[in-house]
Amino acid sequence: MEKKYLIINLGSVSKRYAIYNGKEEQLSEHFEKDEMDLVDFENTCEKFIEQTKEESIAGIGLRVVASGSYFREDKIIDDEYLKKLKKVKDRAPLHLSPVIDEIEKLKKLLPSIPMIGVSDSAFHSNLPRHSSIYNIPQDDAKSGDIYKFGYHGIAIQSALRKIQEEEGSIPARIIVAHLGGGASVTAVKDGKSFDTSMGATPLEGLPMSTRVGNIDAGALIELAKEKNMNLDQLNEYLNTKCGLLGISGKTGHIKELFDLKDSGDENAKLALEVFVYNIKKYIGAYTAVLGGLDLLIFSGTISERSSSMREMILDGLQINDIKVIKVNELEEIALKTLNILE
């Protein structure tokens, strides 16, 4: 009889839970932050486990978005792992605060069950050196562990797995635009990560729902001075007050931005234009460094649900092969969990 596993994917605005019987999904549930009372959203772990209390769980697999070389591999979550997570919490506060809370809840609810931290950066662990370092003294980079780690790796691996299953092989030059509350563009060469828009933290790259994306480092210094912010305040500001929300002044949600744009809101229109423009820039740049493009993959909630967004991105681009793929991160987390525990 196959063992059963609790598989968890916590995003910045959503939570997904599933019970896997070996490699087969048996039960799953999806929770959206915007569709629930905040207290209920924070207690989804207890709710799901209560629903499945009759299940005999052999292990837990949990997606972990964490900055640092230590988190480039899938690992058993023990006291050392949790301690290191807490140490880097401020590098990815939108992801790590809820993940740490979830781990501590699970340790109380299912204290004897082994838990695996499935790395969202593992896919990018072999980035070429020229695309993984920053322009700072390398001794400082080494001592501070400041490199481009990249994220959304689990989703990208799921997309590539689907291409492999459908086509029998993976094209040599692929770009994956994974667009959701967090968004990134990744260049994939011969099945491996070649470059990606997110960096040492999930703040870098595209403007996102509330995250700033790329910004001049000097501008950050001036911004902190102007608003009299300390580093913690600046970190919260860049993670929660910027991006599409910051530009529009009203919302960071794509559907709401389209609705506002249609009613004549110029700031919403500008936010959408900035988002699309930056995605196009990355697609163009990555096409150049890949030496051409065989396939563009759209994944993530925005990619799946908004044909208007896809049309805006593709307008003016000459790309022959385009696929919209509904990735299954839970399945990917389950496979990685089984790989360690079985």
Catalytic residues: 120
3-state SS, the chain, equals CCCEEEEEEECCCEEEEEEEECCEEEEEEEEEHHHCCHHHHHCHHHHHHHHCCCCCEEEEEEEECCCCHHHHCCEECCHHHHHHHHHCHHHCHHHHHHHHHHHHHHHHHCCCCCEEEEECCHHHCCCCHHHHCCCCCHHHHHHHCCCCCCCCHHHHHHHHHHHHHHHCCCCCEEEEEEECCCEEEEEEECCEEEEECCCCCCCCCCCCCCCCCCCCHHHHHHHHHHCCCCHHHHHHHHHHCCHHHHHHCCCCCHHHHHHHHHCCCHHHHHHHHHHHHHHHHHHHHHHHHHCCCCEEEEECHHHHHCHHHHHHHHCCCCCCCEEECCCCHHHHHHHHHHHHHC
Q: Compute how many other C-beta atoms are within 10 angstroms of the C-beta atom of residue 241.
A: 13
The set of long-range contacts for 251-257, using a CB threshold of 8 Å and a minimum separation of 24, is 252/181, 252/208, 252/209, 252/210, 253/34, 253/209, 254/302, 254/306, 254/309, 255/305, 255/306
Strand partners, 57: 4
The candidate with the shortest Cα–Cα distance to 6, out of 105, 151, 150, is 105
